[in-house]
Amino acid sequence: MVASTLPVNGIELCTETFGESTDPPLLLIAGAASSMDWWEDEFCRRLAACGRFVIRYDHRDTGRSTSFPPGHPPYSAVDLAHDALGVLDALNVHRVHLVGLSMGGALAQRIAVERRHRVLSLTLMSTSPGLGSPDAMPLTEQSEPASSPQPSPPGEASPPSQPAQPAPSAESTPPVESPDEPDWSDRRTCVNRLVESTQELGGPFTADEPHLRRLAERIFDRTIDMAATQTNHFCCADGTPYRHLLGTITAPTLILHGTQDPFFPAAHAYALESEIPGARLVWLEGVGHEFPPMAVWSQVIDEIIGQAARGRQPA
């Protein structure tokens, strides 16, 4: 693992890489309020062992990257997408396999629409079409596309028959100050909140509490300002709409979605599949709205690595 702080778009972004720089590059884009730590070290090492140059980074306002005053982010979702491209530019990477989760999936969609020539393949995890854009899919949307999805191939999980209702979450609405707002500068309070929120949005394969606690402690200890982390991504401007352009995506696209995601029910995954030409939807059985738990690492890694070779599927 090689760590560095890169000058990107007038700020500094903390970045780590795994594997050989001569291998095909793969960029991991985390969700809102999430530092790169959520892409666990061993997960990244396993991806790299499959012949990928794996890149992860702290979004601005997370981890060791530049932080701004809580509640006053001088940037938009477009800037967050440009940060991902800036990391690639700083590493002299022109074309990349993109993997984005939740908000990171939205940033990956925007890049795939606006910088199609830079995307070798696209993997969208636990996300929704147009997320973070004024034309985003409503969280209450429960209907499936008019055309019924094809049965899952053998070995893949079947889609959930009764999508769950979205649960309250830190990603549902911008945080507001209130008497119940935790003191994000207090280590114990912050760690407890991170563990609890992960468990609430997870499923039966979510890591156990000791594992989550160690991860949350690491995140707290290397974050410049946890209050900014927990606030700014939710109150920055959305940026220009792009959902209506998803049909122009040319990169082979894989959608990985948990069958127990309480935040983005099944309809969000179906919508992505129908709006991106040739997209392939794979269900992660027993997974909630979370970074891939260890129980599905082998499946997720096999799908990501196989995506580039698989190419476009018939629409």
Give the span between the Cα atoms of 290 and 212, in whole angstroms: 12
Q: Of 58, 233, 261, 268, which one is the catalytic site residue?
A: 261
Non-local (6+) Cβ contacts of 302 within 8 A are none
Kindly state the tokens that stand for 148: 């019924």
Non-local (6+) Cβ contacts of 127 within 8 A are 100, 101, 102, 103, 104, 105, 106, 109, 264, 268, 272
Choose among 269, 290, 304, 286: nearest CA to 157.
Answer: 286
Give the span between the Cα atoms of 109 and 255, in whole angstroms: 11
Q: Of 59, 257, 268, 289, which one is the catalytic site residue?
A: 289
Give the span between the Cα atoms of 54 and 20, in whole angstroms: 8
Identify whether 289 is a catalytic site residue. yes
Q: Of 67, 102, 121, 197, which one is the catalytic site residue?
A: 102
Identify whether 102 is a catalytic site residue. yes
Strands 119-125 and 253-258: parallel
Identify whether 147 is a catalytic site residue. no
**Residues 78/100/232/218 CA torsion (nearest 10 deg):** -150
Kindly state the tokens that stand for 304: 């990501």
- Residue 219: CB atoms within 10 Å: 21
∠ at Cα 49 (47, 55), nearest 5°? 45
Give the span between the Cα atoms of 78 and 111, in whole angstroms: 9
Give phi and psi for 122, each to the nearest 5. Answer: -130, 125
Q: In the beta sheet, which residues pair with residue 43?
A: none
Q: Tell me the catalytic residues.
A: 102, 261, 289
